[in-house]
Amino acid sequence: MGPLLHYYMLKCLFFLVLPHLLIQCCSSMQPLCRNSERSALLQLKENFILNQSASKVGSWKLEGDCSLWDGVECDDNTGHVIGLDLSSSFLYGSIDSNSSLFCLSHLRRLNLSDNDFNYSKIPSALGSLSRLSRLELSSSAFSGQIPAEVFELSKLVTLDLSDNYLELQNPSLKSLAEKLVYLRHLNLDKVNVSSAIPQSLANLSSLTYLSLGNCELHGEFPIKVFHLPNLQILNVDGNPFLTGHFPEFNRSSSIEILELGFTGFLGELPKSIGNLESLSYSGISKCHFTGRIPTSLANLTHLTYLSLPDNKFYGPIPQSIFTNLVNLEHLYLYQNHLIGTIKLESFLNLKKLKSLYLSSNDFSLISTATPNLTVPKFYMLGLSSCNLSKFPDFLADQDELEFLDLSGNKIDGHIPYWLWGLSAKTLEFLYLDVNFLTGFDQPPIVLLWTNLRILDLRYNNLQGSLPIPSASMYQYFVSNNLLTGEISPVVCNLSSIIVLDMSSNNFSGKLPPCLVNLSRSLSILNLQNNSFRGRIPQTCKNGSKLRMIDFSQNQLYGPIPRSMVYCSMLESLNLGNNQMNGTFPSQLGTLPELKVLILQHNGFHGAIGKPETNDFPKLRILDLSFNQFEGSLPSQYFPRWKAMKFADSHELRYLQANTSFQVPGYDWSSYVSYSRTMTNKGVETTYEKIQEFLVTIDLSSNRFEGCIPEDIQILEALQFLNLSNNFLSGPIPSSLATLMDLQSLDLSQNKLSGEIPQELPKLTFLEFFNVSNNQLIGPMPQGKQFGTFENNSFEGNPGLCGNPLSKKCYSSSPPPPLL
Ligand SMILES: *[C@@H]1O[C@H](CO)[C@@H](O)[C@H](O)[C@H]1NC(C)=O
Ligand SMILES: *[C@@H]1O[C@H](CO)[C@@H](O)[C@H](O)[C@H]1NC(C)=O
Ligand SMILES: *[C@@H]1O[C@H](CO)[C@@H](O)[C@H](O)[C@H]1NC(C)=O
Ligand SMILES: *[C@@H]1O[C@H](CO)[C@@H](O)[C@H](O)[C@H]1NC(C)=O
Ligand SMILES: *[C@@H]1O[C@H](CO)[C@@H](O)[C@H](O)[C@H]1NC(C)=O
Ligand SMILES: *[C@@H]1O[C@H](CO)[C@@H](O)[C@H](O)[C@H]1NC(C)=O
Ligand SMILES: *[C@@H]1O[C@H](CO)[C@@H](O)[C@H](O)[C@H]1NC(C)=O
Ligand SMILES: *[C@@H]1O[C@H](CO)[C@@H](O)[C@H](O)[C@H]1NC(C)=O
Ligand SMILES: *[C@@H]1O[C@H](CO)[C@@H](O)[C@H](O)[C@H]1NC(C)=O
Ligand SMILES: *[C@@H]1O[C@H](CO)[C@@H](O)[C@H](O)[C@H]1NC(C)=O
Ligand SMILES: *[C@@H]1O[C@H](CO)[C@@H](O)[C@H](O)[C@H]1NC(C)=O
Ligand SMILES: *[C@@H]1O[C@H](CO)[C@@H](O)[C@H](O)[C@H]1NC(C)=O
């Protein structure tokens, strides 16, 4: 007996006590891994750029038994590499059929998930690994068509190709289903399949896991798939063009997870859904289901997750749900047509409930006194538009809430003091907007939440001063209340803030100079419609992120500060309806993104003068109306206003800032639209959104003089032009007739002379036209929409004649051309 063998025998005596040593002992007795396979592995490692410290392959060395390497599994008897698990190994680089990976011809299990293969195609050489039973390539940046060779791997039991950039069209899902007949686990999430689901999929009788989320599937879902005898998990989420119905389910079904959200499934939920005894997770949000929620749902006592929102369910929620579904943790019923009066407290019987979302139904939630029992701890409560008339009492004990939405209810009176500290350490999102709240029980100075990200108090009747939340805040909305007082400098401590909307209150005092501190995080600053006074302080410094500034409808005075040029990302600036003065802010022409500039109703004055270089390249909306600008129209700017030259892309988009953010657990996607008040066709209108391709120039009610330049035709995308109420003279340029997108042209109240160009009826989109109170003469243009303009669009020009005016054109002048 050699000393080595003796040693092993000794060790084996210990096995009885230390079973884990057994494994070591026996593996040491195995044949070493093959040299050829070891070098194939090492070569594979060489092919990628990797993060040595974190990667499994980091430990692979030139020497040693590769069966001991991280991620490598060798056969006990033959020593061949039979398993390779390089998931999450930080591999980066391309891979093709020449890869040494394909020398490992004994592989049975291959997992390369969660790496970055740099948009490589799946190598067709995979087909040579004919022993493979598990193949996992998810989230690894593979792209292109899945090669037919993969379907030659007829022993495959597990196939996961999800979350890449792959297509499965030729060959198709049909050929997969016909060839890989032993599959138990199939995940093709995000593979572009772009076909109907083949009937043959229902032949894969071993399937337990079928996931086809976001596959661009269409057609009718084969109902037999629901009857696959072993199916436990079915996901076809995110295929909006996939239609289908639920079958009659029977008790033999082993379905545990049904995820059909955002598909075209329709019809009613069958009563037999109550037979899915194993069902624990059911998500069918955003489908077209209708009918009542069947009471048999209450039989599904294993349910932990039930999500039925955004369908067309109607009727009262079955009461039995509240008593039976004791395991329910997540219940989402929002955006349906559920009716009746429901006691909010009945949900509190579901002791494991953590998130409850009932918003936007047709029912009324009533909240009674807190029942004298333990109440579930929620992290998410969505009770918006539920006709609640008071803050539910049970909220006071909730100390783990992250998300609370009580907007759009009928809650009136003061916000109780306890609410201001509710779930102080956890609350991140609080919506109390659109209620009838009037104030605060005790005026809060600084709010207690340490993690709050969004606070929305818009559209209430709140009085008092601005509640100041903690520095964690990203979006703060208090608009449309009756808040008063000055902006406290504490606001300048909101160092992460992205949106600050205090518009339509009665805040007063000066804008604090420290506001500039917010410009590196703030994207939207809306102080419109308050009583702020004084000069505008420096608002931006280098690196400013501000995209929208609205200081309109206040009592601000003085000039626009030069420091505004530091607002280098600014897209929309509205200073309208103040008492500002100074000359045209040509310095703002250097702002590369500025699309909207509104200075209406102020005391700006002087000639506009000459542009510097590259002025206002993206400007589309310019409103200088009701000021004291003088001199000629700013025609030298016209060639610079490049964005006014390109017509609508016909895509309906709005000017808005992306205000999204990420915090652990929430990937918050949001946009804030720019609003503006403008006179459109004579009516002052507030637009909550501005179309991205709207092009308007309003220079009305100033002291401009001289001609309307022919050059105006450069601004080809112009839709609204208002030059009314100036001292413009000379003829109406016939070049206006080339502005084919023009919808509104107001030249009234000037000193324009000559005839109205007979070409104007070519402007087929023109809906509003006003040349009243000028010195125009001659015949009215005829035809097209010129017949639809009212008489007062032309009045005050004694020299005009012809339809619709009562004054006839005498035969001495030629008859007007008919178009
Ligand atoms: C390597 O991975 C570790 C752990 O994930 C990470 O902390 C480190 O930044 C990475 N290094 C590089 C260069 O990517
Ligand atoms: C990634 O792919 C690009 C384009 O094919 C190629 O230029 C680049 O070299 C590849 N990078 C690696 C690490 O393979
Ligand atoms: C494999 O390598 C050979 C020779 O180096 C080359 O001709 C061939 O194009 C390569 N194949 C692939 C798929 O990259
Ligand atoms: C999916 O494939 C179809 C057909 O090739 C194609 O029309 C569609 O654009 C693709 N979808 C995506 C998101 O690439
Ligand atoms: C399902 O399998 C059966 C028996 O193998 C076969 O006859 C039938 O054609 C298959 N159905 C489909 C739709 O492929
Ligand atoms: C239940 O479903 C299975 C699988 O589809 C089927 O074989 C069985 O006949 C059904 N039983 C009843 C009673 O419908
Ligand atoms: C629901 O459970 C009750 C009581 O166990 C039973 O009588 C009823 O048939 C079940 N309904 C369905 C649809 O499973
Ligand atoms: C603002 O924050 C600074 C630094 O955290 C702090 O010293 C200061 O007291 C805060 N100001 C107010 C008014 O809360
Ligand atoms: C707004 O506040 C000012 C005082 O700051 C006051 O004079 C004015 O009446 C208030 N306006 C409204 C509408 O309450
Ligand atoms: C501009 O407004 C300020 C403050 O109202 C005033 O003092 C100044 O005289 C005005 N300047 C001009 C040129 O009107
Ligand atoms: C043009 O501006 C004047 C005020 O300057 C306004 O009264 C008129 O309604 C505006 N025209 C249009 C078409 O909006
Ligand atoms: C045209 O402008 C005049 C003011 O010059 C106004 O009185 C009249 O109502 C306007 N016409 C229309 C149709 O708005």
Instruction: State if residue 557 touches ligand 10 by the CB under 6 angstroms criterion.
Output: yes
**Exposed/middle/buried for 192, CB within 10 Å: 0-12, 13-18, 19+?**
middle
Instruction: State if residue 531 touches ligand 9 by the CB under 6 angstroms criterion.
Output: yes
Give the closest ligand to the alpha carbon of residue 271. Answer: 7
Give the closest ligand to the alpha carbon of residue 791. Answer: 12
Which pLDDT does position 812 carry in this prediction? 55
Instruction: State if residue 49 touches ligand 2 by the CB under 6 angstroms criterion.
Output: yes
Instruction: State if residue 661 touches ligand 10 by the CB under 6 angstroms criterion.
Output: no
Element of type H or E holding 20: helix 19-29
**Which ligand 3 atom is nearest residue 97's CA?**
13
Which amino acid is it at 353?
A: L
CA 381 / ligand 6 centre spacing (Å): 40
CA 186 / ligand 2 centre spacing (Å): 30
Which pLDDT does position 380 carry in this prediction? 95
**Which ligand 4 atom is nearest residue 192's CA?**
1
Q: From the CB of residue 732, how many other CB atoms can be counted at a distance below 10 Å?
A: 23
Protein residue with its CA nearest to atom 9 in ligand 9: 506
On the CB side of 735, how many CA atoms lie within 13 Å of its CA?
A: 11
Q: How far apart are CA 205 and CA 425, in angstroms?
A: 50
Protein residue with its CA nearest to atom 6 in ligand 7: 299
Q: Name the percent of the chain lying above pLDDT 90.
A: 70
Number of residues that make up the chain: 819
Q: How far apart are CA 314 and CA 298, in angstroms?
A: 17
Give the closest ligand to the alpha carbon of residue 481. Answer: 9
**Contact status, residue 714 vs residue 639, Cβ threshold 8 Å:** yes
Average model confidence (pLDDT) for the chain? 89
pLDDT value at 28 more than 80: no
Residue with tokens 């061949």: 80
On the CB side of 590, how many CA atoms lie within 13 Å of its CA?
A: 10
Protein residue with its CA nearest to atom 8 in ligand 10: 558
Q: What is the mean pLDDT of residues 152-178?
A: 96
With cut-offs at 50, 70 and 90, classify the pLDDT of residue 322.
confident
The verdict on whether omega for the bond into residue 804 sits within 30 degrees of 0, i.e. cis, is yes
Tell whether the torsion through CA atoms of 706, 707, 708 and 711 is positive or negative. negative
Instruction: State if residue 300 touches ligand 7 by the CB under 6 angstroms criterion.
Output: no
Protein residue with its CA nearest to atom 12 in ligand 5: 200
Q: How far apart are CA 337 and CA 327, in angstroms?
A: 25
Which pLDDT does position 1 carry in this prediction? 32
CA 272 / ligand 7 centre spacing (Å): 9
With cut-offs at 50, 70 and 90, classify the pLDDT of residue 361.
confident
**Which ligand 2 atom is nearest residue 48's CA?**
13
Question: 372-406 pLDDT, tens per residue?
Answer: 678 899 999 999 999 999 999 899 989 999 999 99
Which pLDDT does position 10 carry in this prediction? 29
Q: 3-state class of 732 per DSSP? A: coil
Q: How far apart are CA 205 and CA 520, in angstroms?
A: 58
pTM: 0.84
**Which ligand 2 atom is nearest residue 94's CA?**
14
Question: 788-809 pLDDT, tens per residue?
Answer: 888 889 999 999 998 888 888 8
Q: Which of 394, 402, 332 lies closest to 367 in space, CA to CA?
A: 394
Task: Give the pair of three-digit tokens for residue 678.
Answer: 């403008």
**Exposed/middle/buried for 250, CB within 10 Å: 0-12, 13-18, 19+?**
exposed
Residue with tokens 């956890």: 426
Instruction: State if residue 144 touches ligand 2 by the CB under 6 angstroms criterion.
Output: no
Q: What is the DSSP string of 650-710?
A: S---B-EEE--EEETTEEE--EEE--EEEEETTEEEEESS-BTT--EEE--SSEEEE---G
811 or 38: which leads in pLDDT = 38
Task: Give the pair of three-digit tokens for residue 472.
Answer: 């964690």
CA 220 / ligand 5 centre spacing (Å): 19
Parallel/antiparallel/unpaired status of strands 661-663 and 666-668: antiparallel
CA 116 / ligand 4 centre spacing (Å): 22
Q: 3-state class of 158 per DSSP? A: strand
pLDDT value at 692 more than 90: no
DSSP 8-class letter at 574: E
pLDDT value at 13 more than 80: no
- Inter-helix orientation angle 3-14/19-29, to 10°: 150
Q: What is the mean pLDDT of residues 739-753?
A: 95
**Which ligand 12 atom is nearest residue 681's CA?**
14
Kindly report the backbone phi and psi dihedral angles of residue 480, in degrees, each rounded to the nearest multiple of 5, phi listed first.
60, 55
CA 98 / ligand 3 centre spacing (Å): 6
Ligand 4 binding pocket (C-beta < 6 A) is 169, 192, 194, 216
259 Rama sector, left if φ>0, alpha if ψ -120 to 50, beta otherwise: beta
Which pLDDT does position 726 carry in this prediction? 98
pLDDT value at 461 more than 80: yes
Which amino acid is it at 329?
A: E
Instruction: State if residue 774 touches ligand 7 by the CB under 6 angstroms criterion.
Output: no
Q: How far apart are CA 536 and CA 819, in angstroms?
A: 53
Q: What is the mean pLDDT of residues 668-691?
A: 80
Write the CA distances from 666 to 380, 403, 428, 442, 661, integer angstroms: 12, 10, 10, 32, 8
Instruction: State if residue 773 touches ligand 12 by the CB under 6 angstroms criterion.
Output: yes
**Which ligand 8 atom is nearest residue 493's CA?**
1
Instruction: State if residue 54 touches ligand 1 by the CB under 6 angstroms criterion.
Output: yes
Instruction: State if residue 271 touches ligand 7 by the CB under 6 angstroms criterion.
Output: yes
Q: How far apart are CA 669 and CA 665, in angstroms?
A: 13
Which pLDDT does position 665 carry in this prediction? 85
Question: 211-262 pLDDT, tens per residue?
Answer: 999 999 999 999 999 999 999 999 999 999 999 999 999 898 999 999 999 9
Instruction: State if residue 118 touches ligand 2 by the CB under 6 angstroms criterion.
Output: yes
Instruction: State if residue 49 touches ligand 1 by the CB under 6 angstroms criterion.
Output: no
Parallel/antiparallel/unpaired status of strands 656-658 and 475-477: unpaired
Task: Give the pair of three-digit tokens for residue 423.
Answer: 């779930």
Protein residue with its CA nearest to atom 5 in ligand 8: 493
pLDDT value at 469 more than 70: yes
Task: Give the pair of three-digit tokens for residue 681.
Answer: 């066709």
DSSP 8-class letter at 560: P
Pocket test of ligand 6: the residue of 250, 255, 275 to mutate, having most ligand atoms within 8 Å of its CB, is 250
Q: Name the percent of the chain lying above pLDDT 70.
A: 93
